[in-house]
């Protein structure tokens, strides 16, 4: 399931209409809609998407495939077996990584204590070739790629978010600078993007939302303990964030006010290392120190 705003569909429509004639996107209606109007809008949008997928020309466009993340989903469903596709010796420590599509991956690397890299790789057969690289005088702690708008978000150890637009030219990746924002006082430990709102967590214990329309920032919570991980549940439209003292914070993203719904305590007394939600089940990874 994909969570897309009307403005995203409108941007897709304009991109496709540059080279093709597409079915008109159902108009957006303002104000509170009745149940009947909501059902009609859902049907109209479903018919619109079905028409896009029935076009043999449109289904192969990069814009449509990236928008609906077709390559990502089809790649994951081809087989349940793990097989080695390619490998590369990076020489440095891998800090974080993410995928743009089935052919391109981004990696954050560290060299020494305060030198970081972002490298973009093209996967071809059993080879991974570097098509773009940037070096920094600080570490990049987390990276996140938003497919619908092709933005790369890089979090730094100094509490900044570096925002780039990723495009391609002559088979090489081009990184255009969009914005640098100081959000946290220390290392950013996690980031998710929901409807052009950037949610970040950090060592400083704060959950901060940055609105991309005007770049205003708002503190949602100060847990007073280092936050370790964050994820977004697209079905319930909630954000889950956890800290080192086993607390899990549930954040509502539907409500315009953006508020904390509840706080859970796993009572393990251990730092929560990873958290994710599938259907009605919450999966929590507890970090256990094996050193006595």
**What pLDDT was estimated at residue 269?**
60
pLDDT, tens digit, for every residue of 97-153? Answer: 888 776 677 778 787 777 888 888 887 777 778 888 888 988 898 888 887 778 899
Tell me what percent of the residues of the chain surpass a pLDDT of 70: 76
Highest mean pLDDT among 10-14, 18-22, 87-91: 10-14
∠ CA(77), CA(101), CA(166), 5° rounding?
A: 165
Query: What is the average pLDDT score of the chain?
Result: 78
Res 202 pLDDT > 60: yes
Long-range contacts formed by 108-117: CB under 8 A, 24+ apart = 108/140, 108/141, 108/142, 108/143, 108/154, 110/139, 110/140, 114/138, 114/139, 114/157, 115/139, 116/140, 116/156, 117/92
Range name among 69-78, 150-159, 185-194 with the lowest pLDDT average: 69-78
Res 263 pLDDT > 70: no
Per-residue pLDDT, averaged over 200-221, amounts to 90
pLDDT, tens digit, for every residue of 227-238? Answer: 888 988 877 778
User: Structural domains in the chain?
Assistant: 6-68 (3.30.1520.10), 88-182 (no CATH), 188-292 (2.40.128)
Local confidence band at 200 (pLDDT 50, 70, 90 cut-offs): very high
Per-residue pLDDT, averaged over 217-226, amounts to 87
216 bridge partner residues: 211
């Amino acid at each position: 399931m994909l969570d897309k705003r009307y403005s995203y569909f409108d941007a897709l429509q304009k991109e496709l209409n540059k080279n093709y004639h597409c079915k008109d996107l159902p108009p957006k209606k303002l104000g509170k809609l009745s149940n009947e109007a909501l059902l009609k809008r859902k049907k109209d949008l479903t018919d619109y998407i079905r028409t896009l997928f029935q076009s043999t020309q449109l289904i192969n466009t990069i814009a449509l495939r990236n928008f609906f993340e077709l390559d990502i989903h089809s790649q994951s469903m081809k087989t349940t077996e793990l097989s080695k596709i390619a490998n590369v010796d990076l020489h440095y420590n891998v800090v974080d990584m993410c995928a743009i599509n089935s052919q391109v991956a981004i990696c954050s690397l560290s060299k020494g204590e305060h030198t970081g890299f972002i490298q973009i790789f093209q996967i071809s057969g059993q080879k991974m070739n570097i098509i773009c690289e940037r070096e920094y005088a600080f570490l990049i702690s987390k990276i996140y790629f938003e497919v619908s708008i092709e933005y790369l978000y890089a979090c730094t150890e100094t509490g900044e978010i570096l925002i780039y637009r990723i495009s391609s030219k002559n088979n090489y990746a081009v990184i255009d600078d969009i914005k640098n924002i100081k959000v946290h006082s220390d290392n950013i430990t996690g980031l998710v993007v929901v409807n052009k709102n950037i949610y970040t967590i950090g060592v400083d214990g704060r959950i901060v939302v940055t609105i991309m329309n005007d770049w205003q920032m708002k503190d949602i919570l100060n847990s007073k303990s280092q936050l370790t991980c964050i994820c977004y549940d697209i079905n319930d439209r909630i954000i889950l964030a956890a800290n080192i003292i086993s607390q899990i914070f549930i954040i509502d993203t539907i409500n315009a006010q953006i508020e904390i719904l509840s706080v859970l305590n796993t009572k393990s007394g251990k730092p929560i290392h990873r958290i994710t939600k599938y259907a009605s089940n919450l999966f929590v990874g507890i970090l256990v120190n094996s050193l006595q």
